[in-house]
Amino acid sequence: MFHLYIALGFVFLSWRFIGPMKVHKPFKWFIATIFLFISQYHLIQIQIFGTMFSPELPRWLVILLGWAFCTFVLIVAITLIKDLLSIVLFFINKRKKWAVHRHNVCSVITLLLSTSFAGVGVSNAIQTPKVRKLDLTLHEWPIALNGLRVVQLTDLHVSTLFPEPWTKSVVNQVNALDPDLILITGDFIDGTIQDRDKDIKPLKNLKARYGTYGVLGNHEYYFNAMDWNKHFEMLGITILNNEHRTLNIRDSLLTLAGVTDESAKQFDFPTPDIPTALKDVPSSVPIILMKHQPSDAALADKQGVTLQLSGHTHGGMIWGLNQIAKYANQGFISGLYQLPTMQLYVSNGAALWNGFPIRLGVPAEITEFTLYLSK
């Protein structure tokens, strides 16, 4: 569906942005050809690299192509908004024509806005994420665990866009927090072990008092999930696949549970199974569930989970459009949500997929939770 939507976007752009330009036809065809290439460069990647998720290209070129594609998307969005406003004005003012006058001027303004916003958005996206600190009060939380500090990492997407130096900077920020637990909720990588071994290696230096745990995200399944599972374990990260571990912390019990990702089904791996992951967990023990996608939070709530940590959405990436993206994730897109007996936190993520690397008003994050018993 992704490629279909992009193709429709190109058709709309040709019709409403390029078509009305008052320029010579050869120049129109030139512009159309450029936008056709930009819009279809993911398909071109598949033909060259066999995947659109990890183009093994120089980082500067990945950034340039990402900026170009983000510009294309923003031009489509701005043109669509402009046309919708024109239709509204037509009905308000009863005009015979709703087409915007001086289309060339509007096109130049649209192009300048799109390229500028895309440049800022890509620059925001590739920076080292800042730490977001949150105090959470939880029901039935052991007093002995008051003040427990948990760091959530998610959507690292280690790749040519987010290489070894970037990974090192993230690890240094996390270790500076001196956390009790580190929980990584999927999408560690984009690429094969052979291509990403050096870039992912800094994760071996993560330090937490009671260990580092994680679950696989959909992108791990695109690159042989079980091989990556073993590799993460070698880096000192315990991966939980529809299972749990019960830890003794300060003479009090805490259960960490993790499930697979929904995309596992298309690769013939077990799908997320929260009941199986929580099998034999005593009802009196608090549970933190790691699940890459925030879907099925209601089921986790019914199963007695205290806190669910998720990612996957990247917070919607663009403020405003994130309110549309949330409908693809059962209404969950960014931040803290209160369910009847459980809290769900959906992180904006530390990075994102290099195919659409943009952040506007939705900052990346490393999240530090300090957990307390609610009064």
Q: What is the pLDDT of residue 100?
A: 44
Identify the weakest region by mean pLDDT among 95-99, 104-108, 183-187, 192-196.
95-99
Which has the higher per-residue pLDDT, 347 or 88?
347
Q: What is the pLDDT of residue 330?
A: 85
pLDDT band for 103, please (50, 70, 90 cuts): low
Is 60 exceeded by the pLDDT of residue 95? no
Look at strands 181-185 and 148-153 and give their pairing: parallel
d(C-alpha 210, C-alpha 145), whole Å: 13
Listed in order, the ranges of the chain carrying CATH 3.60.21.10 are 130-373
Identify the weakest region by mean pLDDT among 6-10, 17-21, 97-101, 239-243.
97-101
Task: List phi, psi (to 5°) of 173.
Answer: -65, -40
Measured CA angle at 105 (ends 104, 107), to 5 deg: 65
What mean pLDDT is reported for the chain? 93
Q: Is residue 138 within 8 Å of 286, Cβ to Cβ?
A: yes
Q: Is residue 134 within 8 Å of 235, Cβ to Cβ?
A: no
d(C-alpha 292, C-alpha 187), whole Å: 8
d(C-alpha 107, C-alpha 214), whole Å: 47
Q: What is the pLDDT of residue 98?
A: 44
Q: What is the pLDDT of residue 117?
A: 97
The answer regarding whether domain 130-373 maps to CATH 1.20.140.10 reads: no
d(C-alpha 291, C-alpha 260), whole Å: 7
Mean pLDDT of 116-132: 97
Mean pLDDT of 221-237: 97
| pLDDT tens readout for residues 24-82 | 889 999 999 999 999 999 999 999 999 999 999 999 999 999 999 999 999 999 999 88
Q: What is the pLDDT of residue 156?
A: 98
pLDDT band for 94, please (50, 70, 90 cuts): low
